[in-house]
Amino acid sequence: MAERWTNTALLVIDMQNDFIEEGSVTQVKGGKAIVPNVIGVVELARQRGILVVWVVREHDPQGRDVEIFRRHHYRSEKVGPVVKGTLGSKLVDGLNIREEEDYKIVKTRFSAFFGTHLHSFLQTSGITKLVIAGVQTPNCIRQTVFDAVELDYPDVTVIVDATAAATPEIHTANLLDMRNIGVKTPTLHEWSEEFA
């Protein structure tokens, strides 16, 4: 393991069936296309000894912990999105949590930092650099990134082809906003070159 990566964590955000697979009311249209690159980011992180943090949503079956604008999805007889224990809340095929090495954070809002202990966990783990992958760019990715910058993480990176939004235009516009606050936005290939 390269010593230079011991203070880095990879946050993999919302790569769950209900956000990626077709047919879900919460599907992110660009999500399916990035699955291979997210798998690649995770594999590369593990090779380099980078801590992998899985950030997932797991909601109450009645939607009591969901944002107001989504609660109507939990009022019918059909199970709502990403309910804890359902197939929809599981990671997509190809992504797996390694219980011994990885860490999992459950969130109920856009930001991985909001209402969670992520910041204190990262601090006690000696993490100062964050690399982010997952969905979706204008919501959970952006909110997490902006919170990380506001919490003074000096080095925040978003892997552009391992993150996605509903459209390429939305993705690009939000990446520009993040670059404007000092966030790095390499491709997976460009990021992998840093390991050479």
- Total domain count, the chain: 1
Looking at 14, 18, 129, 161, which residue is catalytic?
14
CA-CA distance, 50 to 70, in Å (whole number)? 34
pLDDT attached to residue 1 = 46
**pLDDT at position 5, please?**
79
Q: The CATH number of the domain where 179 resides is what?
A: 3.40.50.850
Of the candidates 143, 79, 154, 157, the residue with the CA atom closest to the CA atom of residue 108? 143
Q: Which two tokens stand for residue 89?
A: 């809340």
147 is an active site residue? no
Per-residue pLDDT, 196: 62
Q: Cα separation of 141 and 111, whole Å?
A: 7
pLDDT at 4: 67
Choosing from 18, 107, 129, 161, the catalytic residue is: 107
Q: What is the pLDDT of residue 79?
A: 86
Given the residues 18, 129, 140, 161, the one annotated as active site: 140
6 in the Ramachandran plot: left (φ > 0), alpha (ψ -120 to 50) or beta?
A: alpha
Q: Is 140 a catalytic residue?
A: yes
Inter-residue contact 129 to 157 (CB < 8 Å): yes
Could you tell me the mean pLDDT of each successive run of 10 residues in the chain, 196 residues long? 79 97 91 97 96 96 90 83 94 96 96 98 97 98 98 98 97 98 97 83
The confidence score (pLDDT) of residue 50 equals 96
Which domain range does residue 94 map to?
A: 3-193
pLDDT at 2: 55
User: Among this protein's residues, is 93 annotated catalytic?
Assistant: no
